[in-house]
Amino acid sequence: MGQFMKVLVIDRNAAVFSDLDKVMRNEPKIRSVALFFGAGHLPDMEARLTKMGYTSATPVKDAIDVDLNKLPGGKAQAKQPAR
């Protein structure tokens, strides 16, 4: 993984989990926390949660699902870089 991807994924995840640790230690009345992330963050976040002893109680759900075959020019648009 290149240095840019390390900063973009690993270092940002570390910051999120540092904040999560603070909430867990300092806010005993909070019973649930949501972590929002992009797909590229998932493998590292899953590894961190597993290391903490957590397992998935329910399947992970997609936030959005797009059938590119049903959209005019969908496949071509998906190949274009984000701006």
User: Cα–Cα distance between 57 and 81 in angstroms, integer?
Assistant: 35
6-31: pLDDT as tens digits: 888 899 999 999 999 999 999 999 98
Is 74 a residue whose pLDDT tops 90? Answer: no
For the chain, domain boundaries: 3-79
| Average pLDDT along the chain | 84
